[in-house]
Amino acid sequence: MTYTPPKNLKRYAEILKQKLPAQFRISQNIRLEFSKSDTTQTLWELHDEGIRELHRQIVDRTPPDEITRREPSLLDLKTELAERIIQSCTLCERLCRVNRREKERGYCGVEGVSRYASEFLHTGEEPELVPSHTIFLAGCNLRCVYCQNWEISTSPQIGEPMLPERMIETITLRHLQGSKNLNLVTPTPHTHNILKTLQKLSINIPIIWNSNMYYTEETARLLEGIVDIYLGDFRYGNDQCAIELSDAPEYREIVLRNFRRAYHSGEILMRHLVLPGHIECCTKKIIDLVKENIPHIRFNLMFQYRPEYRAHRYPQIDRYLSAGEKEAAIQYATKLEDLLI
C-alpha cells in the first residue's frame, strides 16, 4: 500500500486537533517480533514489513484513541537498529564509523550520550509551529562558517544529558503548558537517543525534525514512521558553495535525495536562508530544484542572515543582504507562488 502524504501540513493540523495520531505513536502500535540476536539484515527486512503496516494504518486513519504501546514494536525495532548504527556510526554522510558507545567521537564530536543546550517554548518559529517545544541539541555534523548557533553546534559537551525518562517528563510538561509539537534542532547525531525517548512517550504530539538533511539513507529509513514534519534547511544549490561554507561534500545530491524521500514519508517545511552573494548560485538553483522535484511544499525564504562566527574570513558573506538581493530572491520565488510563507 502506497502512502502519499498531503502537502501544506494538513496531516499535521489533524494531529493537533487530536483527530490523527503522530507517526511515532503508530510505530509504537505496530507489534513486530524480533530479538537482539537477529542479524541486522533480518531486522531491516522486518522493518520494511512494519513500514507497510504503518502506511496501512495511516491510509485507514487509525484514530489516536485506538493506539496502544505494544512490545516489541516497530519503534523498538528502529531503536535497536539505531543503537547498532552508532557502534560504527553512519547516522550522517560523514560516515565516521566510530564506536560512539565506546565514547569514540567522530566529526560531530557527539558521544553515545546526547546533550542539549536549552529547551523552551519557542514563539519565533513559523506560524503553524508556535508555540513549539524546541530542544537545541549540542554538536553538529556540518561546519557552517557563518553558523548562527555556533556556541551550541561546536560544543557537543555542553548542557544537560538527554536522559529518556527525564526528557519524557519535560516533553509532557511542555505539552501541558501549550506546546504544539516537539521541535528537535540538529537531531541527526542524536537519532538513537531521540528514538529511545519516543519509545515510552505517551502523548500525541507531532515530531518536527529540524535538520540540515545531511543524513544517510539508513537514517532516512529510521525517520519514516517517526517524523511528521521535516523542517529542513536547503542552503546551497551546488557542491562548491557547500564545501567552501559548510565543509559538506556531495551536499546537493544528498540533501535533495533526503528531501525527495521525506516528500513520501511526511510533510515538509523547507527553509532557505538567503546568503549574500549567493542568489544566482544557490537561491535560484534551489527554487528550481523545489519546483521540479518536490512541488507544493511549504517554503520559507529567510532573510535574517547576519555575519557570525567565522564569516569575517569570507568577504562575500561578511555583510548583510542588500535590498536588491532580497528583492531578487522574492521575485524569483514567485515561481512557487502560493507556497511561500
CB 67 → ligand SF4: shortest distance, Å?
30
Question: Which letter does DSSP use for residue 282 in this model?
Answer: I
CB 158 → ligand SF4: shortest distance, Å?
16
CA distance 63 to 59: 11
Binding mask 218-247 for ligand SF4 (x = CB under 6 A): ------------------------------
Half-sphere exposure (Cβ direction) of 232: Cα atoms closer than 13 Å: 28
Contact status: 156 vs ligand SF4 (CB under 6 A):
no
Q: Which is nearer to ligand SF4, 174 or 190 (CB)?
A: 190
Q: Which is nearer to ligand SF4, 122 or 196 (CB)?
A: 196
Cis peptide before 5 (omega within 30 of 0): no
Among 121, 94, 128, smallest CA distance to 108 is for 94
Cell digits for 23? 507517526
Contact status: 78 vs ligand SF4 (CB under 6 A):
no
CB 112 → ligand SF4: shortest distance, Å?
10
CB 321 → ligand SF4: shortest distance, Å?
30
Q: Which is nearer to ligand SF4, 22 or 147 (CB)?
A: 147
Applying CB under 6 A, the site for ligand SF4 has a residue count of 15
Among 120, 111, 116, smallest CA distance to 87 is for 111
Within 8 A by CB and 6+ apart from 104, the residues are 98, 111
Give residue number: closest CB to ligand SF4: 106
Q: Which is nearer to ligand SF4, 98 or 227 (CB)?
A: 98
Binding mask 172-201 for ligand SF4 (x = CB under 6 A): ----------------xx------------
Among 341, 94, 306, 321, smallest CA distance to 229 is for 341
Binding mask 89-128 for ligand SF4 (x = CB under 6 A): xxxx-xxx-x-------xxx-x------------------
* Rg, C-alpha atoms of the chain: 19
Contact 171, 116 (CB under 8 A): no
Choose one: 24-32, 86-94, 146-154, 158-166; the region binding ligand SF4 (CB under 6 A): 86-94
Q: Between residue 11 and residue 40, which ones bind ligand SF4 under the rule CB under 6 A?
A: none
Which of 27, 29, 132, 141 binds ligand SF4 (CB under 6 A)? It is 141
Among 303, 307, 261, smallest CA distance to 283 is for 303
Q: Which is nearer to ligand SF4, 131 or 232 (CB)?
A: 232
CB 283 → ligand SF4: shortest distance, Å?
27
Long-range pairs for 92-96: beta carbons < 8 A, 24 or more residues apart:
92/141, 92/188, 92/189, 92/214, 92/215, 92/216, 92/219, 93/141, 93/214, 93/215, 93/216, 93/250, 93/254, 94/141, 95/216
Q: Could you list the residues that contact ligand SF4 (CB under 6 A)?
A: 89-92, 94-96, 98, 106-108, 110, 141, 188-189
